[in-house]
Amino acid sequence: MNKRDIAKLAAIAGVLVLCVLLLGRIERANGRAETETVREAVKNAALTCYAVEGAYPDSLEYLKENYHLSYNEDRYFITYDAFASNRIPDINVTERGQKER
């Protein structure tokens, strides 16, 4: 192997490393976007309930049963803290296996 071949291999290895790093970054960004989409779905269902009924629902289960909220429960954990019927609840969505954001 000569110096030219070694330089080519090093360049290819560098490109491969960059590709792997870029793919990881894209996956993380995509995961954050999906988590935010789920959070927005819960928030929109709560806002719809408030518009229709004049109060925010007291539980996530109410939104599932009455406003057809659905999400992948195996993938996402949602905390829904309804502290007053006239205040939008605190909604946190965490992808299971990830730290809370």
Q: Which amino acid is at 92?
A: N
pLDDT at 99: 55
Nearest partner of 42 among 14, 74, 13, 68, judged by Cα: 68
pLDDT at 101: 43
- List average pLDDT for each run of 10 residues in the chain, which is 101 residues long: 82 82 75 87 95 94 94 93 92 79 43
* Maximum Cα interatomic distance, the chain, rounded to a whole number of Å: 77
CB 31 within 8 A of CB 93: no
pLDDT at 79: 95
How far is 48 from 51, CA to CA, in rounded Å? 5
Continuous H helices in the chain: 3-53, 60-67
How far is 1 from 34, CA to CA, in rounded Å? 48
Q: Which amino acid is at 43?
A: K
pLDDT at 100: 47
